[in-house]
Amino acid sequence: MQPPYDPPRDTLAAGLVEGLIRDAAAVEVGFGCELTDLTFAVTEDISADVLGGSVAHNSYDTLHGSAQLSVTRDLPFGYAVLCPYLTLYDGTTRARFNLGAYFTDTPSRPLAEVPVTYNVTCYDLLTALDNNIGDAFSLPAGTNYLSAVEDILIGNGYHQYLIDRASTAVLPVARAWPFDDSSTWLLVVNDLLASIGYQGIWTDWAGRLRVQPYSSPRVRSAEWTYDVEPATSLLSTERDEWHDYFKAPNSWVFVRSNQIDGAQPVDGNGIYRYDNTRTGVTSQEARHRTIVRKVMVDAADQPSLEAAAQITIDADTAVPVKITMKTAPNPLHWHFDILHLQDAARGPETNVLGTAWTLPLDGSDMSHEWTVLPI
Amino acid sequence: MIIIATLTLTKLFVNLLSTGASVSAQSQPDRLATYEKRGDVRIYAGGRLRSITQEGAPGTFVFVLVDVTRAQITLLRSWAGLPVQVRDNRSRIFQGVYYRVNEIERRNEPTLYDVPIELDVITFVEAV
């Protein structure tokens, strides 16, 4: 989630942002939009020309963020970067929540309307990275993974990014990506990050690209609590839950595909095995059988193999219980949020992983998809 | 010496904002100005009732021009959908747009009509 007191809310006193989102008995929702470039220098505030729309985020999509905006003016659609935002006001405190930065499509122009209204589809800034490389690409042994990622970002025109430099790993052997339809810069970046146990690259609420180590949802702390208390409930009465785990594996074999010197991988050196014997409804104990999944991983070393394996294990075990939910507008939501859910209607309180959300800019309730995390 | 002039309007004036051209006429009493906030009280799980509204409050000004000539009606029809300013004898000023011009025949006045208009208020920033 967005930290509650990240700019532009950094001047607000502690508790005010949570109060606006959760506690205010009556709240007014506003929205706006800025036209910027890739440095996020604001060219123009076009709020007066934006009729409305919505912002959405799906953490499992290749391009996570998207937006739909109705705009009553012409824009440089070929390169415009739009930064929508939402405001909340309770009569005393007003807070602004930036909702990312997006490229636009080239919408059709209805000729019958004056002034014209463009229904603009906006795409995550990762779009510029999702381009085909146009050639084969290779990196020599000894290249620092994160330096290679940074070079790719700069080479693709990005100015604003945050890279967590926790890893100093270098490529143990040369690595190449062939010249084919699927070879995009985004694929290369995510391959490199997976090799050192980092999560896939994503863009944040300010439009910056984020590169950081993967942290299992099961060990992360909850960032927001949703409950059904009379003074704080934000959960809609419309909420559904379903279980979908027929094919979920409960035993994994991860094999390092870039073993140096062609040595045969063995357990602990090129192979990592993991069995979910007792955790959750997909466990071997719960299913009364073992469902094996084998995964080939390009990893820098054995710890990186195990870190990358954990990402897959978490994703596979996260499948079982999903919740679709509507809540009052909470513009702090972002990428793979950890939420604490206290809702007696669905059972004991638990942590859930936010995997997708859509936030209408007109103040309508927002929709979510959550996955219950195994206890 | 400073002279402050006070203009008292005895009629209701409709001016096209782009040119200043005007139509003026007496208006019926009971003109109705309304501002309505868009929002609702929603029910959340656990029975919480919470109001959520949208920024801004769309307004309307409903009035009836009386004894309007055909030439004035032609002008008013040509302004439908364009920004106009309406001033009444209470010094109220509304900038807005109307989309419909009704004409109601005046009894025993074959050349005159009553014209009800519903003005949707818009935000208008004057050039400086």
Taking CA–CA distances from B47, the nearest residue in chain A reads A230
Closest Cα of chain B to A86: distance in Å? Answer: 11
CA A115 vs. chain centroid, Å, equals: 36
Residue of A25, A29, A328 lying closest to B55 (CB–CB): A29
Q: What is the DSSP letter of A233?
A: -
Q: What is the pLDDT of residues B31-79, one digit of tens each?
A: 999 999 999 999 999 999 999 999 989 999 999 999 999 999 999 999 9
Closest Cα of chain A to B5: distance in Å? Answer: 35
The DSSP annotation for A89-120 comes to: E-SS-EEEEE---EEE------TT-SS--EEE
In chain A, what residues touch B97 (CB-CB under 8 Å)? Answer: none
DSSP-derived 3-state class of residue A163: strand
In chain A, what residues touch B39 (CB-CB under 8 Å)? Answer: 28, 363
Beta carbons of A27 and B53 less than 8 Å apart: yes
Cβ atoms of A88 and A32 within 8 Å: the answer is: no
Among candidate residues B107, B33, B94, B95, the one with its CA nearest the CA of residue B66: B107
Closest Cα of chain A to B13: distance in Å? Answer: 26
Distances (CA, A) of A375 to A151, A204, A342, A351: 40, 28, 14, 8
Give residue B4's pLDDT band: very low, low, confident or very high (50, 70, 90): confident
Residues A156 and A154: their CA atoms lie apart, in Å, by 5
Closest Cα of chain B to A333: distance in Å? Answer: 19
Residues A33 and A109: their CA atoms lie apart, in Å, by 20
In chain B, what residues touch A329 (CB-CB under 8 Å)? Answer: 52
pLDDT for the residue A181: 82
In chain A, what residues touch B48 (CB-CB under 8 Å)? Answer: 228-233
- Does A4 sit behind a cis peptide bond, omega within 30 degrees of 0 on the bond before it? no
- Sequence-ordered list of residues with C-beta below 8 angstroms from that of A61, at least 6 positions apart, any chain: none
Beta carbons of B44 and A231 less than 8 Å apart: no
Q: What is the pLDDT of residues A245-256, one digit of tens each?
A: 888 899 999 998
Note the pTM of the prediction, 2 decimals.
Answer: 0.83
Residues of chain A with pLDDT under 70: 259-262, 318-320, 375
Taking CA–CA distances from A27, the nearest residue in chain B reads B52
Cβ atoms of A270 and A135 within 8 Å: the answer is: no
Q: Rg of chain A over CA atoms, in angstroms?
A: 22
pLDDT for the residue A335: 97
Report CA dihedral (A282, A287, A291, A295) to the nearest 10 degrees: 10
Beta carbons of B44 and A236 less than 8 Å apart: yes
Question: Residues of B near A (CB-CB distance < 8 A)?
Answer: 39, 42-48, 50-56, 123
pLDDT for the residue A327: 97
DSSP H helical segments within chain B, as ranges? Answer: 70-78
pLDDT for the residue A300: 83
Taking CA–CA distances from A361, the nearest residue in chain B reads B54
Beta carbons of A31 and B55 less than 8 Å apart: yes
Q: Which of B18, B36, B43, B48 to mutate to test the interface with A (most CBs of A within 10 A)?
A: B48
Give residue B127's pLDDT band: very low, low, confident or very high (50, 70, 90): low
Residue of A26, A48, A233 lying closest to B45 (CB–CB): A233
Q: Which of B50, B82, B99 to mutate to test the interface with A (most CBs of A within 10 A)?
A: B50
Beta carbons of B48 and A230 less than 8 Å apart: yes
Tell me, what's the ipTM?
0.79
pLDDT for the residue B54: 94
Question: Residues of A near B (CB-CB distance < 8 A)?
Answer: 24-31, 48, 87, 89, 227-237, 239, 328-329, 343, 345, 362-363, 365
Residues B105 and B112: their CA atoms lie apart, in Å, by 7
Closest Cα of chain A to B74: distance in Å? Answer: 21
Report CA dihedral (A219, A225, A226, A228) to the nearest 10 degrees: 120
In chain B, what residues touch A368 (CB-CB under 8 Å)? Answer: none
In chain A, what residues touch B124 (CB-CB under 8 Å)? Answer: none
Q: Is a pLDDT exceeding 60 seen at residue B128? A: no
